[in-house]
Amino acid sequence: MMQNPYIPYPVDVRDIIVENEAKDIKTFELVFHDEKDRERFAFRCGQFAELSILGAGESPIGIASSPMETDHVQFTVKKMGVVTSALHNLEKGATMGVRGPYGNGFPMKRLEGSNIVIVAGGFAFTTLRSLTNYILHPDNRARFGNLTVIYGARSPGELIYKYDLAAWAEMEGIELHVTVDAGDDDWTGLVGYVPTVLKDVAPSADNAVAVVCGPPVMIRFSLPVLAELGFGADRIINSLEMRMKCGIGKCGRCNIGEKYVCKDGPVFTLEELRHLPQEY
Amino acid sequence: MSDLEQTLRETARRLLTEEQVDLVIGFGQGTLPLRTTPRFIRDPDQVDQLVWNLSCENNLSTYLKHTQGKVGIVAKGCDARSIVGEIVERQIPRENVVVIGVPCQGVIDRQAIEAELGEREVLEAQIAHGQVVLRGADFEEALAVREVLCDDCIVCHHKNPPLYDVLVGELAEDGGDVGEYPTVQKLESWSHDERWAYFSSEFSRCIRCYACREACPCCYCPECFVDQSQPSWIDRGDDLSDIIAFHLVRIYHVAGRCLDCGACARACPMHIDLRTLGRKLEKDVREMYEYESGMSLEATPPLSTFRQDDPQEFIK
Amino acid sequence: MSKWTISKSDVSGFLDELHKSYQVFAPLRREDILVLERVSDQDSVVLDFYNTKQAPKEVFFPRSEVLFSYRDGEVIPASLSDERRVVFGIRPCDARSSVLLDQVFDAADFQDPYYVNRRQNTLLIGLACNKPLSTCFCTTVGGGPFSTDGLDLLWTDLGDRYLVETITERGEVLTASSSLLRQATEEDTTAKAEIATAAEQMVSGPSTEGVKEKLDGMYEDPFWDEVHLKCLGCGVCTYLCPTCHCFDIVDEGRDGRGQRVRNWDTCQFSLFTHHTSGHNPRPTGKERMRQRMMHKFNYFVANFDDIACVGCGRCVRECPVNLDIRAVIESITQIGAG
């Protein structure tokens, strides 16, 4: 009997972390009711799930926790519309649903053995944070080369995963650069747009792959910097957002050309994107 | 090609070459018998595509929602009234429209012909000498034009555009009396139960394609109430109550502005009677407020106007 | 596979036989519209027709269906019926569309149980098209008036009788259980062959040879600036189309009780790809018309090696502004030619 891909797995909200000063980005830590569901949900970095709130609907959200964290799964959600607002109204202990994991995820075989440069802006950091934690895990670290993470937000209050940023700053095996567009009285770190910091850091393109996620303007200015540093289009990886409904390539909504962002993506190399219509 | 077509083409050519407009919207030959199709012409050399006949059924003014710059537009009586409405409702500035008014002799009711012919496909149609000759693979039938014209066109009393910058053709004689509403009077004679049964049956065929909404010049909301999710006013499934709610609310949204051009009913693939409700509201507005939509650039629709001294007799 | 004939006077008896074991769907007249619906005792099946107003895709993919209901946080999946059904009198173009839709709904990675269940439980008895309409163009998109794609049985009208040909094992089983069928003679099969040849020649449409390759290079072509202008942006073409399959998923209900519903949707609506952020990758009719044509004649071909159009002609006949897909294909293939 085939599994019904439209039925969400029931999960409990074990914890809610308010990530930013504006209080409109929250991380939800979810625990599956059923162990079998948790096993079925085995996921890779870069995949997403449809978060389901009965009565409100569903929203496709990138998975924010590393696959190595096996007893829960985390999603970081910005409050934008009907479903995300309903999510934000949930309290600890509430029950909701998760469908997935969907999408192609990051190309881990390509990333293994390479130096990784992560370039992230604002709220799009979520799946890259999953990737960073995955790489840093002792079981995995040796399979990857150097890890450089450049992450920025509009202001110090808008940085998310501050607890991870603090922990990473103390670790070996990761070169971390955190920046803000504009500092405040307490901020002692870097000030500058992500593309500018990227240019200053100038990570080597030698045997390196860049993974870039952020607001369109950040991506637009980061790509030329990467190109100048010698990153070929097939060594620059993006994760796209698109309006979705089914998440499984049937409802016809999320295509870019012949590719469905939910199935053939959301992760694409720049090389692949150049072959697709500019319709996103 | 008739004289009228010739004049229409010359007019379009002149407007384009003199750069009075950037675009002319008119009718061109369709790909099926008894069809014309909207044509968007920018190049004066293409004006010969324009035609005029009893199949010019679309209300082209609905395109004015999307056009940029100055537009010349071919308009029958009802279409020109729609344009007046759009100008009054600030959907398009008066100076951006050149109305090429064409007095209307009515349009052919294709749904009636389909019903008459049943499963016989028309391969060729010719309209001449007051007759429509229809030819198929193994039949030929001649029908009097009057038999196949839209019923509402026959009693139409606004065949002449109330607003035009150029008039192509002779002014037409209006049909019927101003107070004549045969289909509405029939509806009004029914009991509530009979009306409910009739409309439930009609609307049960609705497939929520929204062709009625898109064809209607009055429906220009960037986000229709049907599509809103915060709050969600009606559901989008096939529950009959939601379907009826959509149509009733839409008709009330256009009440006082709808002039019964029939574009909605002609667009509907399921042949739902969409006109009678609109017509009923149009009659009510005329009787209660002495207002006819689309006749004057100065008047504003009564349901969109408020004055402090408005009498409120009906809610006292 | 076997060949039989059934006299026209025995057809209602055949349908009665079917009623004993199946829910029967057939062309019926509702007011002046021909629909494909479940046949009840009072209905009389129409067999002298061109085609139903709507495509039979509704039999597998209803316009609105409940995926599951919920109550106080509990999800109750909609039960999948194991009722067996027969669609009687489906045209070859429409039957072929089910094969195309299978690629989407019965894919290797995810299967849609609602669709797949209905497909598995439904037999298709086709009626060949002796007299295709002038708006039919099945032969140019991989089909034909006597095509057997997707059918379990193919019936051909031979005047006073029908030729009944079994196409699949299921069709074979069905014919074996009827007492109203006679073995077909050579005369019958010859008669069918003649009708079929004539019918194929009656179908004409724009050639689609090379249209996929042509469209590969056309994304930025100024052609799209003009072709969409008269399109109203309604859903008539897509909703009546046998191969269009876009849908929306919404929750309906209140106070903790309701259902998650799947409704048809269309890439032609302005809000189809509208993001919550306000961004819309297809903001005008131009992008949306391009998407429709590209999806049918390019993207679907790239993914499944088939054009997502069966040439039924419904969009041609029913478009409120006579935007003719055949003319669009012809224009596309003509670009740069001559």
Please say which residue of C158, C185, C202 terminates a domain.
C202
Please tell me the least confidently modeled range out of A82-91, A123-132, C35-44, C185-194.
Answer: C35-44
Asked if A81 reaches chain B (Cβ–Cβ under 8 Å), the answer is: yes
Provide, as residue numbers in chain A, all residues whose Cβ is less than 8 Å from the Cβ of C102: none
Q: Domain for residue B314, yes or no? A: no
Which residues in A lie closer than 8 A to residue B229 (C-beta atoms)? 81-82
Measured distance CA(B18)–CA(A104) in Å, rounded: 58
Q: How confident is the prediction for chain C on average, in pLDDT?
A: 95
Residue-wise pLDDT for C38-75, tens only, equals 998 778 899 889 999 999 999 999 999 999 999 998 99
Q: Is B117 contained in some domain?
A: yes
Nearest C-alpha neighbor of C135 from the set B35, B142, B55: B35
What pTM was estimated for this model as a whole? 0.95
Same domain, C33 and C108: yes
Indicate the helix (H) or strand (E) that contains A14. strand A9-18
Residues B13 and B86 in one domain: yes
Average pLDDT for residues C326-335, to the nearest whole number? 95
The CATH number given to whatever domain includes residue B137 is: 3.10.450
pLDDT of residue C42: 74
User: Are the Cβ atoms of C276 and A84 closer than 8 angstroms?
Assistant: yes
Q: Kindly state whether residues C140 and C40 are assigned to the same domain.
A: yes
Rounded Cα distance, C197 and A224, in Å: 61
Q: Does C49 touch chain A (CB under 8 A)?
A: no
Say how far apart CA A197 and CA A192 lie, in whole Å. Answer: 6
Q: Read off the pLDDT of residues B209-224 as tens digits, 9 standing for 90 and up.
A: 999 999 999 999 999 9
Residues B138 and B84 in one domain: no
What's the CA gap between B129 and C137, in Å, rounded?
A: 35
- C147 and C287 both lie in a single domain: no
Tell me the C-alpha distance between A210 and A119, whole Å.
Answer: 7
pLDDT of residue A1: 57
Asked if the structure places residue B316 within a domain, the reply is: no
Q: How far is A215 from chain C (nearest CA, A)?
A: 12
Cβ-based contacts under 8 A for chains A and B: 4
CA angle C94, C102, C63 (to 5 degrees): 65
The answer to the question of residue B315 being in a domain is no
Beta bridge partners of A62: A48
Mean pLDDT of the B260-289 span = 92
Taking the CA of residue C21 and the nearest CA in chain A, the distance in Å comes to 24
Scanning every residue of chain B, which has its alpha carbon at the shortest distance from the alpha carbon of C233?
Answer: B214
Structure tokens at B43: 């190049």
Same domain, B189 and B137: no
What is the interface pTM, i.e. ipTM, of the complex?
A: 0.94
Does A165 share its domain with A52? no
* Closest to C305 (Cα-Cα) out of C217, C222, C212: C212
Give residue C80's pLDDT. Answer: 93
Structural domain range at position C50: 3-202
The residues facing C228 across adjacent strands are none
Percentage, residues of chain A above pLDDT 90: 96
Mutate to test the interface with C, among B108, B117, B199, B207 (most CBs of C within 10 A): B207
Distance CA B57, CA B59 (A): 7
Q: Are residues C156 and C139 in the same domain?
A: yes
- Could you give the number of structural domains in chain B? 3
Omega of the bond prior to C27 within 30 degrees of 0, cis?
no
DSSP letter string, A72-132:
-EEEEEE--SHHHHHHHT--TT-EEEEEEEES----HHHHTTSEEEEEEEGGGGHHHHHHH
Q: In 10 A of CB C140, how many CB atoms?
A: 21
DSSP state of C298: I
Do C150 and C181 share a domain, yes or no?
yes
CA dist., res. A141 & res. A133, Å (int): 10
Range of the domain at A192: 108-239
Q: Look up the CATH number of the domain holding residue A115.
A: 3.40.50.80
Q: Note the pLDDT tens digit of each residue in A195-254.
A: 999 999 999 999 999 999 998 899 999 999 999 999 999 999 999 989 999 999 999 999
- Give yes or no: residues C159 and C268 share one domain: no
CB contact under 8 A, A245 and C247: yes
Residues A78 and A125 placed together within one structural domain of the fold: no
Name the pLDDT band for A105 (thresholds 50, 70, 90). Answer: very high
Q: Please name every residue paired with C190 in a beta bridge, in sequence order, or none if there are none.
A: none
CA C89 – CA C29 distance, rounded (Å): 13
Domain that holds residue B264: 181-303
Chains interfacing with C (3 or more CB pairs < 8 Å): A, B
In the sheet that holds B166-167, the strands lie side by side as B36-41, B23-29, B71-75, B97-101, B166-167
Looking at the fold, whether B100 and B116 belong to one and the same domain comes out as no
Asked whether residue A123 falls in the same domain as residue A82, the answer is: no
Residue of A nearest to C68 (CA): A7
C89, C183: one domain: yes
Tens digits of residue pLDDT in B103-146? 998 999 998 898 888 888 999 999 988 999 999 999 999 999 98
Which residue type occupies A7? Answer: I
Whether the predicted pLDDT of B200 surpasses 60: yes
How close C229 comes to chain B (CA, Å)? 7
Q: Which residue, among A91, A93, A147, A87, has the nearest Cα to A120 in the 3D structure?
A: A147
A233 falls within a domain: yes
> Does the distance separating the beta carbons of C226 and B31 come in below 8 Å?
no
Has residue B310 been placed in a domain?
no
CATH number at residue B41: 3.40.50
Domain assignment of residue A169, yes or no: yes
Given a contact cutoff of 8 angstroms between Cβ atoms, the answer to whether C45 and C38 are in contact is no
Same domain, A229 and A113: yes
Show which of C169, C202, C235 is a domain's final residue: C202
pLDDT digits (tens, 9 = 90+) for C277-288: 889 999 999 999
Question: Where among C173, C202, C231 does a domain terminate?
Answer: C202
How would DSSP label each residue in C141-209?
Answer: GT--TT--TT-SEEEEE-SSEEEEEE-SHHHHHHHHT-SS-EEPPHHHHHHHHHHHHHHHHH------T
Nearest to C28 by CA among C38, C18, C19: C38
Counting the structural domains of chain A, the total is 2
Q: Count contacts between B and C (CB, < 8 Å).
A: 109
The first and second tokens of residue B163, run together, are: 């607003």
Q: A122 with A206, same domain? A: yes
Verify that B226 and B122 share a domain, yes or no.
no
CB C60 within 8 Å of CB C208 = no
> Considering the domain boundaries, does residue A280 fall inside one?
no
pLDDT tens-digit series, residues A164-176 = 999 999 999 999 9
Residue B49 lies in a domain: yes
CA gap B265, B221 in Å, rounded: 20
Are C252 and C190 contained in the same domain?
no
Q: Which whole number is the average pLDDT over B179-192? A: 86
Q: Are residues C188 and C245 in the same domain?
A: no
Count: domains in chain C? 2
Task: Provide, as residue numbers in chain B, all residues whose Cβ is less than 8 Å from the Cβ of C250.
Answer: 232, 235-236
Tell me the nearest-neighbour CA distance from C213 into chain A, angstroms: 13
Residues B209 and B128 placed together within one structural domain of the fold: no
